[in-house]
Chains A and B, each alone.
Chain A
């Protein structure tokens, strides 16, 4: 089946630093990648949509200068949380539409803790 590999699974960083999260589609080409954020005991909220080779589209209320998304290839998208603050601590999850089964495949998530 379609697999999206997400790394790291957990990361702790200091306030003011930046953190990069990677998502790779292992056995299909991900023309479009989605990034979600999930706070504890809450649902997933769409942050942005990235299409390979073009600028990402951000949902209302999501700061594009804080959450930098790069989708330079059909198998790799990255999310960089810049100048992280404790309120950015969350579970970040990527997802891609699989050209194999046209369903949404999710990565395993990254637990970001900003101290």
Chain B
């Protein structure tokens, strides 16, 4: 099964600055890497995802980069705003043997945007 490591566990940045969260995965056959934002008491909300056939994907202030050789992917948030404060999780399919797999999640990053 997949093993996903996420760093840092807590990240505090000034409003307007950029935030970067990094994850590594263990299974080189993994091909789908989503990022989720979770607010207190709510389910995870997909904010961006990337498949293994591309190296970068961007959606307004949010971008994800993927390095398949190094088996790591990163979330980049630019021009951070107070509403970006939340816990962010990276994930990868638990098994890569094909079919519908559940996700293995990183331990999460508590992002704090300082006004």
Report which A residues bind B (CB closer than 8 A). Answer: 6, 31-32, 34, 36, 42-46, 49, 51, 59, 93, 95, 97, 103-109, 111
Tell me whether chain B's interface is mostly helix, strand or loop, or mixed.
Answer: loop
Nearest to A94 among chain B residues (CB) is: B43
Contact B46 A104 (CB under 8 A): yes
One of B41, B42, B46 near A103 (C-beta < 8 A): B46
Chain A hits for B102, CB < 8 A: 34, 36, 46, 49, 59, 95
B86 contacts chain A at the CB level, 8 A cutoff = no
Chain A residues with CB under 8 Å of B108's CB are 42-43
Cβ of B17 to closest chain A Cβ, rounded Å = 25
Structural contact, B100 and A106, CB atoms closer than 8 A? no
CA gap between A45 and B105 in the complex, in Å:
7
Q: Is the interface of A mostly helix, strand, loop or mixed?
A: strand
Smallest CB–CB gap between B66 and chain A, Å? 16
The answer for the CA separation of A21 and B114 in the assembled complex, in Å, is 37
- Within the complex, the shortest CB–CB distance from A89 to chain B, in Å, comes to 14
Q: Are B44 and A43 in contact (CB under 8 A)?
A: no
Q: Are B103 and A46 in contact (CB under 8 A)?
A: yes
Q: Tell whether, in the assembled complex, residue A44 and residue B100 are in contact, meaning their CB atoms are under 8 Å apart.
A: no
Are A32 and B100 closer than 8 Å at their CB atoms? yes
Output the residue of A32, A43, A93 with the most chain B CB within 10 A.
Answer: A43
CA–CA, A43 and B92, complex, Å: 13
Out of A31, A36, A43, A107, name the residue touching B100 (CB < 8 Å): A31
Indicate whether B68 reaches chain A with its CB closer than 8 angstroms.
no
Contact A43 to B89, CB < 8 A, known contacts A49-B102, A97-B100:
yes
Tell me, yes or no, whether B94 is within 8 Å of chain A by CB: yes
